[in-house]
Chain A
Amino acid sequence: MKLKVFLLIFLNLSLLASEYAVVSNITLDTLNKKQIKAIFLKKLTHLNGIKFVPVNLASSSKIRDAFESEVLQMSKKRLKSYWIKRHYLGKRPPLVMKSQKSATKFTQNVLGSLTYIELKNIDKNLNILYRWSAK
């Protein structure tokens, strides 16, 4: 009985979890989580001749919250201070798109661009570079 209850709870929690992915119109098998973080912090700008164009969703986006927590592993406040310091060095934060739809469209059309969206919204023309799930 206990096992059944446990399985039921586990199943429900699994259903509540959302799945996300970092996607791009390029194929890069070797891109790891640290490199994706470096791309969105604009520390890694090129690789194998490809220039990266990271695209963020709006700061109010829950998907962006999940991305910052999972991949960047930085709080919003710390990210804010990071980009303010970069302003002094003459560097700008990534582009921002208001919706998954616009971010996806941009990523399909601009070589080297990367964004993050819900797994269910992935277009067949985009390649998944990294995926994760979060509640």
Chain B
Amino acid sequence: MRFFLALLIFFSSLLYAKDDYVIGEGYQVGELPIYLGGYLSLDYRKKDEEDRYRFDEMSFMSYGGNDTISYMAEFEFEEFYVKTQNDDESISEHDHKLYLERLYIDYNMDETYVLRMGKYNSPIGFWNLMPINVLRATTSSPILNEIIYPKYTTGLDLSYTTFSQGELKLDFILQNNTPIDEDYNNYDIDKHYALGISYEEDEYTLKLNGGYFSKRDNHLEVNDFTYALISAKYEDEKYQFLLEAAAQNSKDDNTNYASYAQGLYRFTHKHIGVLRLESYKDELENKNDNIAIFGYTYRPLYPIALKAEYQQHTANDENQIIFSFSVLF
């Protein structure tokens, strides 16, 4: 019911959209400084003994404002429908909860400082800044983005940006409160203190992040974690190279490591090939794996992506093929 109500509200507002709409760039509501958009993603995964069909993401977002104050609101249905099949059974699952993915206000204090308040994507590394299927290089995300740091923070982010020959940006992340929509995060946290520094010049970007966070579950023995991440990127018209390496340490000296190196080649702007090599060790979950991912993306238009990938794992029974269709509107 909520799903259809959300669709009704969203598409009703499009009646007031300006008529120069371009897919992937959002709708402007009349002449107001308010924009609407969203995205969706469907995927199919084949493992040795299991098939999975999934309506994964259906998101609606709105943003806008003026030079001083702006906002972003995003609501999402995640894993709206999942059907899993193996030799013995077929299971269908639904999740009709509308999650709050992002909700924040930006206050431009002056030329260099911006204060963000609310729930936002933690500005850590590269992958976490573009976490939606249609904008990613592959349907799957690196394990690093799941096990090292909280993907979302509810609190403050003070950023300082200066520009001369390149862009230097500092981020101060602060959460010391209960989260907004704790179900929609990889860690249910009530504390997150972190610092990020990035420098971008021409085709090169280098980032360093480090921080501390605390999980809310008091039944667990281990609640406190620190992490550090180094990221580097090169990108031009044809190539993109990404390298990220991270470590997470918990109070009882369990250490997680994760890293990946990814190369992307644009045969044309519609046809893109990807190779990603990943490695991780998760001592808390007693898991480790090395993964080679071969991906291909076809974009008839940039905001529409048809993707295929093959994953070769050293861990048993994890090899898989994934196909997906995703759109940003």
Q: Which residues of A contact B (CB under 8 A)?
A: 34-35, 38, 43-47, 49, 51, 74-75, 77-78, 80-81, 83-85, 87-90, 92-93
Contact = CB atoms under 8 A, between A and B. Distances in A.
Contacts of A89: 129
Contacts, number: 58
Contacts of B135: 84-85, 88
Contacts of B269: 75, 77-78, 81
A113 to B, nearest CB: 13
Interface string B85-126: 000000000000000000000001011000000000000000
B163 A38 contact: yes
Contact of B302 (A44, A47, A80): A80
B64, B130, B269, most chain A CB atoms within 10 A: B269
29 contacts: A34-B166, A38-B167, A43-B163, A43-B167, A44-B163, A44-B167, A45-B108, A51-B67, A75-B237, A78-B269, A80-B302, A81-B269, A83-B25, A84-B24, A84-B25, A84-B135, A84-B302, A85-B130, A87-B24, A87-B328, A88-B39, A88-B61, A88-B130, A88-B132, A89-B129, A90-B35, A90-B63, A90-B70, A93-B25
Contacts of B165: 34
A90 B237 contact: no
Contacts of A78: 237, 269
Contacts of A93: 25
Interface in B203-243: 237
B237 A87 contact: no
A83 B108 CA distance: 21
Interface string B151-181: 0000000000001111100000000000000
Nearest to B329: A87
B72 interface: yes
B263 interface: no
A89 B71 CA distance: 10
Interface in B240-260: none
Interface of B: 24-26, 35, 37, 39, 61, 63-64, 67, 70, 72, 108, 110-111, 129-130, 132, 135, 163-167, 237, 269, 302-303, 328
Given A77-B269, A80-B302, A81-B302, A88 B328 contact: yes
Contacts of B70: 90
In the A-B complex, the 4 residue pairs with the smallest Cβ-Cβ separation, listed nearest first, are: A90-B63, A46-B111, A77-B269, A84-B24
Contacts of A34: 165-166
B20 to A, nearest CB: 10
Contacts of A81: 269, 302
Nearest to A46: B111
Nearest to B131: A88
Given A43-B163, A87-B25, A90-B35, 4 more contacts: A38-B163, A47-B111, A81-B302, A88-B39
Contacts of B108: 45
Contacts of B64: 90
A24 to B, nearest CB: 17
B26 A87 contact: yes
Nearest to B201: A34
B70, B72, B108, B303, most chain A CB atoms within 10 A: B303
A43 B24 CA distance: 20
Nearest to A47: B111
Contacts of B63: 90
A75 to B, nearest CB: 6
Nearest to B35: A92
Contacts of A84: 24-25, 135, 302-303, 328
